[in-house]
Amino acid sequence: MTVTLLLEQMFNGLQSGVMLFLIAAGLTLILGIMDFVFLAHGAQVMIGAYAAASLTALTGNFLVGIVLAIPITFASGFLLEFLLIRHLYRRDHMDQVLATFGLILFFNELIRIGFGPAALFSDLPKALSGFVNILPDAPYPMFRLVVIIVGLACAIGIHMLVSHTRVGAMVRAGANNEAMTAALGINIRLLRRFVFAVGACFAGVAGMMIGPLTAVEPGMGEPLLILSLVVIIIGGIGSVRGAFVAAVLVGMVDTMGRVLLPVILRSFMGQAAADGAGPALASMMVYILMSLVLVFKPTGLFPPKG
């Protein structure tokens, strides 16, 4: 185990963490503030990835593809809320689970019909496909670095939007006391639609960035949905700041666990046993982390105020 490899894995952990945050940020607001169980948030990731991949193929330019795909993800969140979700706010959580689980199946099938079951692959532009040295003699894929930078920039953007704009204050006021917010002239229904659309948009951006790193295929959002639910529970449901800390934590623990656990286990058990137990244990690490947080801080690391 070299320092270079460790550093590379730390960057990978950070990259996976910031992407998880983009997905979890909107979901934590939908779950915590609107008290709505939305399982189809992973589909927004997939929609973003497909929109960007096909628009990139169409225009021949990755950046243009992304820029054109962003409004599509915003519109998909907006329309989904308008057509279906708003009718479900007053229903109980089980109805919301059933309806939005149905949406997962619907979107996966829709994508399968439209694009086929095979994964899409998009070529990265030359400028993004090389390596950069993050330390002397420590090359790191350029695109992964770009993903980290985009993720951090979006995180700052989300923070500014929620904490330093008037519409962000409206969202927080609505989270605190919806009836009073409405009694002061704020259209809560429009506010919810906006949160949904912005949440879908950031989840879509995560899909656009993850797409070239993994496979753009039907059902690609679901593993990410499960991880972002873990992030939301660790961070505290409804807390954007908590989601950020938890996302980086989960990204790190997941990535480092997969690399380090087999090495650690090998130091006190046989090679074969360690190679068997390591990956199995590594894939459980984030859930063990979640369980520990639930035991010691049942409301998460940063439960929202008020």
Partner 1 sequence: MLRLHEVEAGYGSAQVLFGVSFAIEAGACVSLMGRNGMGKTTTVRTIMGQLPLRGGSIDRFGDATPGRESFELARAGIGLVPEGRQIFSNLTVVENLSTFHRPARDGETLWTMDTVLDLFPRLRERLGHAGNNLSGGEQQMLAIGRALMTNPRLLILDEATEGLAPIIRQQIWDCLAMLKAAGQSILVIDKNIGALARLADHHCILEKGRVVWQGDSAALRADPQLTSRYLGV
CB of 302 to partner 1, least distance (A): 13
The 10 Å Cβ neighbour count of residue 219 is 16
- Check residue 180 for interaction with partner 1 (CB under 8 A): yes
By CB atoms closer than 10 A (0-12, 13-18, 19+), residue 115 is: middle
* Nearest in space to 122 (alpha carbons), one of 58, 57, 207, 65: 57
Cα three-residue angle 248-249-251, rounded to 5 degrees: 65
State the Rg of the chain over Cα: 20
- Check residue 176 for interaction with partner 1 (CB under 8 A): yes
- Check residue 305 for interaction with partner 1 (CB under 8 A): yes
Q: Which of 29, 53, 173, 237 binds partner 1 (CB under 8 A)?
A: 173
Q: Which of 177, 214, 271, 291 binds partner 1 (CB under 8 A)?
A: 177
Q: How many residues of this chain bind partner 1 (CB under 8 A)?
A: 21
- Check residue 90 for interaction with partner 1 (CB under 8 A): no
> Which of 179/295 has CB closer to partner 1?
179
> Which of 177/283 has CB closer to partner 1?
177
The 10 Å Cβ neighbour count of residue 149 is 12
CB of 165 to partner 1, least distance (A): 10
Stretch that binds partner 1, among 152-160, 175-183, 210-218, 219-227 (CB under 8 A): 175-183
- Check residue 304 for interaction with partner 1 (CB under 8 A): yes
Residues whose CB is less than 8 angstroms from the CB of residue 88 and which lie 6 or more positions away in sequence, other chains included:
36, 95, 96, 99
> Which of 141/304 has CB closer to partner 1?
304
Residues whose CB is less than 8 angstroms from the CB of residue 291 and which lie 6 or more positions away in sequence, other chains included:
none
Cα three-residue angle 48-53-59, rounded to 5 degrees: 120
* Nearest in space to 205 (alpha carbons), one of 39, 70, 24, 41: 70
> Which of 82/115 has CB closer to partner 1?
82
> Which of 134/188 has CB closer to partner 1?
188
- Check residue 187 for interaction with partner 1 (CB under 8 A): yes
- Check residue 237 for interaction with partner 1 (CB under 8 A): no
- Check residue 166 for interaction with partner 1 (CB under 8 A): yes
Return d(Cα 99, Cα 97) in angstroms, integer. 6
Query: Which parts of this chain interact with partner 1 (CB under 8 A)?
Result: 166, 169-170, 172-173, 175-177, 179-188, 304-306
